[in-house]
Structure 1
């Protein structure tokens, strides 16, 4: 059976946004966004507050319904899909506000995240030690450098460790694309270096889009950078091209956005 050309053309892309717009009354938060992300690609989305970055994420994840345009995820049109259907297809995200269980251990938080995206998520049976999800949870703790505190209560972790845990939970269930919403916000320089190590060390098949204020972090963890301004895409290119672009320097670096914010 022949595959429709539109699906065949889009199947090569992890994410494809076409003419994506979102308005809140008279305010156009997003205006005619076209964006293509390949499988396994690491994309940074930069821009000052109000540029439309978080609204873009909310439309991609299904938290917001776009006013116009289309969203394709691995070739499938998901524009009208609720958030949970996108999660089932392998889309994950972190949020700026922590969504962790403070009274539980690191290991329990990661296990629950793995359980929540598995087929047996409604089972009330206690997991056995050879439970595949327990092993997956331990692997994720290693991936985000939290193995040595896996038994510690989340409420007792440092802020940076809590952000690492959020990354582990977003990686549960073998996602195909992860959206990281300002993971470096509030981190110390040492914690930021650790974050860069975690993100660059992820398996190559896991692609991600990272919204970030810290240009140093963004340029080090991405293959390609998209700069937004006033709800539109202002520039798009490789990290070195973006860093050296005079217009980017005038808008972004001149606006005091460089480094810690």
Structure 2
């Protein structure tokens, strides 16, 4: 029989896509993360901001299992995944993009997306060529439209612009209908036009699909996020809505500078 406190906890954790409880990460004497407590609701869009060295990428690594926490607990959709490898977290609906592109440059755009869809499907070990009714190919075609790459579907990835490659990475992260996506600086190096396209893509994602975005481009981050977490020296410095963060004097002094003052 589940006690009242335990039942209450089960009911509360069911609301969250992600829960970090006193998460810290040490690299020898270096404390990269210190006592991070963070909750992200299912379907929430959260921006994590901060200067270089604030601990943002280490935070993602702790969530994905690439560098598990030294101390603390990580829960995905109410399940403790602290000791699970990264592939098990992927199976539970977590995806991630990286600052450095991880694409098959010699293959076409549609083939890259197809392989991602095939990789999370039941028939991923089959050697048969895809037919017109192949569900993975149907999913790939849908994702192609979602990230605005349908006009370059048959081009090799090596011929894409940098911005198009970042859009393709988002498509790969969307394969298999994930429930939570970690986006690591998707606007880095994009032109103003490509940033606008990125914002439209992220705003058009299904409502049930939440994401956490690390981003140096404040205009992009604040336009796509419901809530913002500011980090400094491996700790959470401030949390609030995009408007609250943008207009906070301490945030302006520490991060935003005169452009947002």
Q: TM-score, normalised by structure 1?
A: 0.96
**Structure 2 stretches lacking a partner, 5+ long:** none
How far the C-alpha of 1:12 sits from its partner, in A, is 1.1
**Is the Cα contact below 8 Å between 1:43 and 1:210 reproduced in 2?**
yes
**Structure 1 stretches lacking a partner, 5+ long:** none
Deviations 1:83-112 (A, max 9, x none): 000000000000001000011000000000
Q: Within 1, Cα distance between the matches of 2:81 and 2:224?
A: 27
The ranges of structure 1 where at least 4 consecutive aligned residues each deviate by more than 2 angstroms after the TM superposition are: 1-9
Q: Within 1, Cα distance between the matches of 2:220 and 2:15?
A: 28
Q: Within 1, Cα distance between the matches of 2:27 and 2:210?
A: 30
**Is the Cα contact below 8 Å between 1:19 and 1:69 reproduced in 2?**
yes
Deviations 1:190-233 (A, max 9, x none): 11111001001111111000000011100000000000000000
- Provide the secondary structure at the position in 1 that maps to 2:16: coil
Q: Within 2, Cα distance between the matches of 1:254 and 1:40?
A: 31
Q: Within 2, Cα distance between the matches of 1:124 and 1:145?
A: 29
Match of residue 164 from structure 1? 167
Match of residue 179 from structure 2? 176
Q: Within 2, Cα distance between the matches of 1:124 and 1:107?
A: 18
Q: Within 1, Cα distance between the matches of 2:21 and 2:258?
A: 29
How far the C-alpha of 1:254 sits from its partner, in A, is 2.6
Deviations 1:20-42 (A, max 9, x none): 00011111000000100001000
Match of residue 57 from structure 1? 60
Q: 2:199 aligns with which of 196, 202, 218?
A: 196
How far the C-alpha of 1:2 sits from its partner, in A, is 4.7
Q: 2:85 aligns with which of 79, 82, 87?
A: 82
- Provide the secondary structure at the position in 2 that maps to 1:14: strand
Matched, 1:253 2:256: yes
Match of residue 72 from structure 1? 75
Q: 1:10 aligns with which of 8, 13, 18?
A: 13
Match of residue 213 from structure 2? 210
Matched, 1:105 2:108: yes
Matched, 1:228 2:231: yes
How far the C-alpha of 1:8 sits from its partner, in A, is 2.8
User: How many residue pairs end up in the alignment?
Assistant: 257
How far the C-alpha of 1:9 sits from its partner, in A, is 2.2
